């Protein structure tokens, strides 16, 4: 049972999930199999570890059907039934969290039953529900469309021969819903195509962009923002669109849901990084990306479930260090490392303080911080070992350098969790560094050629610098 879909699903259950799932199974509306309650209670007692010995099918069968001869089919059926109920429970819980969805379905049912007074009450109530939703999610536009569509059905049921304002609203809100989602998907496709040469071809892309360039009636805040986002992703020269996007983000600060804002900020950052990589006014765009990151972090737009993403944290530090804003970067690290998940906090603090000190050539202080890195994430492990190799080289600790090259190379070859490309890039780094240290000056041209022609290689520029400087 250990590797079953049932156990995989139940491993995600929190304490609250178990409590509500049991209540769900006790309801005869949802479940009429008493053994599933027993099954649930037993597995709940084994969570979260679900040790193989405790959840063997034979052992569970005895709990569910005491005194009966073991039947493989019977226990398999019970597992499938419980899995089905667990999936239905998750769907039900998700549905119950979507208050506007419940209201929409209720309105639809009331119109069908021709309960006018009930319908009008729920229709009025939906204004507040949707206004709250507008601040959270772009599904607001779908709910508005559905609400107007139901109102249109309600109007038609009365057989009145007069102007129906709901018909125009239904059409307009469907257009807004479609255009926002279409623009959002176009942005994602363009972005992914740039990163991985993906062969996306969104239908009506050109027609929709041309239409939106010519109209003003349907340009809601989100449509305007996503249109400028599309241009910075699509065009080679999009400086004016980038400036427009920044202005719109300020102007519509309170009108864009946080989830969408996080996506748009990331696109803005990616645009800046793309310009830096093109060597197009790199310092300006590095500072622009830093500004976007800081706005997103200060407003907690770039937070996920209350925590700052470790990747956003690392990127801010990296940009700050590349701009040689050491005091600012140290202040950022000290201020925001506590906003990371607990398991990342100490490593983020010490690894990045080590990096600052390394760049400032305070090698002893850098080593003190590296000793305190506990490797909560493999990237910290790889980064710390690489930095230590560079420090040993800079302070001429030859014996320690060769010992670490040897142990690091063994670690890289034996670690099966590393992606092949990552392993190869780090191994190439250690191999070339070893060659540089052992080489006489007559061999440097060949090593420089090797550095330039090696496809996967970390710290390429540093290797070139030390080789050319020897």
- DSSP codes joined into one string, 379-427: HHHHHHHHHHHHHHHHTT-HHHHHHHHHHHHHHHHH-TTS-HHHHHHHH
Contact between residue 250 and residue 299 where contact means Cβ atoms under 8 Å apart: no
Same domain, 56 and 25: yes
Cβ within 8 Å of residue 298, ≥6 positions away? none
Closest Cα partner for 299 from 261, 340, 255?
261
185 located within any domain: no
Classify residue 56 as left (phi > 0), alpha (psi -120 to 50) or beta.
beta
Same domain, 19 and 93: yes
Look at residues 74, 97, 120 and tell me which one is the last residue of a structural domain: 97
Residue 128 is part of which domain span?
107-162
Same domain, 24 and 77: yes
pLDDT of residue 204: 87
pLDDT of residue 136: 53
414 located within any domain: yes
Contact between residue 409 and residue 430 where contact means Cβ atoms under 8 Å apart: yes
144 located within any domain: yes
pLDDT of residue 218: 72
Same domain, 22 and 78: yes
420 located within any domain: yes
346 located within any domain: no
Same domain, 58 and 137: no
pLDDT of residue 387: 95
Torsion of CA 408, 414, 419, 424, to 10 degrees: 50
Q: Alpha-carbon distance 163 to 160, whole Å?
A: 9
452 located within any domain: yes
Same domain, 462 and 428: yes
27 located within any domain: yes
What tokens were used for 435? Answer: 């060659």
Same domain, 128 and 72: no
Torsion of CA 191, 192, 196, 197, to 10 degrees: -80
- Long-range Cβ contact pairs of 357-363 (< 8 A, separation 24 or more): 358/387, 358/390, 358/391, 359/321, 359/324, 359/326, 360/326, 361/394, 363/391, 363/394, 363/395
pLDDT of residue 134: 62
83 located within any domain: yes
Same domain, 381 and 469: yes
Provide the number of structural domains found in the chain. 3
326-336 vs 310-322: helix crossing angle, rounded to 10? 160
Look at residues 97, 129, 150 and tell me which one is the last residue of a structural domain: 97
pLDDT of residue 83: 97
What tokens were used for 200? Answer: 């996306």
Tell me which residues of the chain have a pLDDT lower than 50.
Answer: none
Q: Alpha-carbon distance 183 to 168, whole Å?
A: 22
How far apart, in Å, are the Cα atoms of 86 and each of 4, 380, 431, 470? 13, 38, 52, 65
Look at residues 45, 76, 97 and tell me which one is the last residue of a structural domain: 97
Same domain, 115 and 85: no
pTM passes above 0.75? no
Q: Alpha-carbon distance 153 to 108, whole Å?
A: 9
pLDDT of residue 101: 87
Same domain, 92 and 111: no
Same domain, 437 and 455: yes
């Amino acid at each position: 049972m250990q590797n079953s879909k049932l156990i995989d699903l139940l491993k995600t259950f929190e304490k609250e999930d178990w409590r509500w799932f049991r209540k769900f199974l006790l309801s005869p509306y949802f479940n009429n199999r008493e053994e599933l309650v027993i099954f649930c209670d037993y597995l709940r007692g084994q969570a979260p570890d679900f040790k193989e010995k405790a959840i063997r099918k034979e052992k569970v069968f005895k709990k569910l059907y005491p005194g009966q001869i073991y039947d493989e089919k019977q226990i398999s059926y019970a597992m499938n039934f419980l899995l089905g109920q667990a999936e239905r429970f998750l769907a039900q819980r998700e549905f119950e969290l979507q208050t506007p969805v419940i209201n929409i379905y209720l309105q639809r049912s009331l119109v069908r039953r021709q309960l006018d007074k009930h319908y009008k009450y729920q229709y009025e109530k939906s204004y507040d529900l949707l206004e709250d939703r507008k601040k959270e999610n772009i599904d607001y536009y779908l709910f508005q469309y559905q609400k107007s569509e139901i109102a249109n059905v309600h109007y038609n049921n009365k057989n009145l021969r007069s102007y129906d304002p709901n018909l125009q609203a239904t059409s307009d809100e469907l257009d807004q819903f479609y255009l926002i989602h279409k623009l959002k998907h176009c942005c994602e496709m363009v972005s992914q195509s740039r990163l991985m040469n993906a062969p996306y071809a969104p239908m009506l892309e050109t027609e929709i962009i041309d239409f939106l360039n010519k109209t003003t009636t349907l340009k809601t805040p989100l449509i305007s923002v996503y249109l400028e986002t599309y241009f910075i992703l699509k065009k080679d020269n999009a400086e004016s669109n980038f400036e427009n996007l920044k202005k719109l983000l300020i102007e519509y600060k309170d009108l864009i849901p946080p989830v969408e804002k996080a996506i748009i900020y990331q696109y803005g950052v990616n645009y800046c990084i793309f310009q830096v990589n093109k060597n197009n006014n790199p310092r300006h765009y590095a500072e622009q990306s830093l500004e976007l990151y800081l706005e997103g972090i200060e407003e907690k737009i770039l937070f996920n479930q209350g925590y700052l993403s470790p990747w956003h944290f690392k990127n801010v530090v990296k940009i700050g260090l590349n701009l040689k804003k050491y005091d600012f970067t140290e202040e950022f690290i000290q201020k925001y490392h506590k906003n990371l998940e607990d398991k990342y906090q100490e490593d983020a603090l010490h690894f990045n303080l080590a990096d600052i000190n390394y760049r400032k050539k305070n090698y002893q202080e850098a080593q003190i911080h590296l000793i305190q890195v506990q490797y909560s994430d493999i990237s910290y492990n790889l980064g710390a070992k690489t930095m230590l190799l560079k420090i040993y080289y800079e302070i001429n600790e030859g014996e320690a350098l060769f010992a670490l090259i040897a142990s690091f190379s063994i670690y890289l070859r034996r670690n099966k969790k590393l992606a092949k490309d990552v392993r190869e890039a780090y191994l190439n780094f250690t191999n070339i560094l070893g060659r540089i240290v052992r080489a006489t000056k007559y061999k440097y041209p060949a090593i420089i050629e090797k550095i330039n022609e090696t496809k996967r290689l970390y710290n390429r520029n540093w290797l070139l610098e030390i080789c050319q400087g020897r």
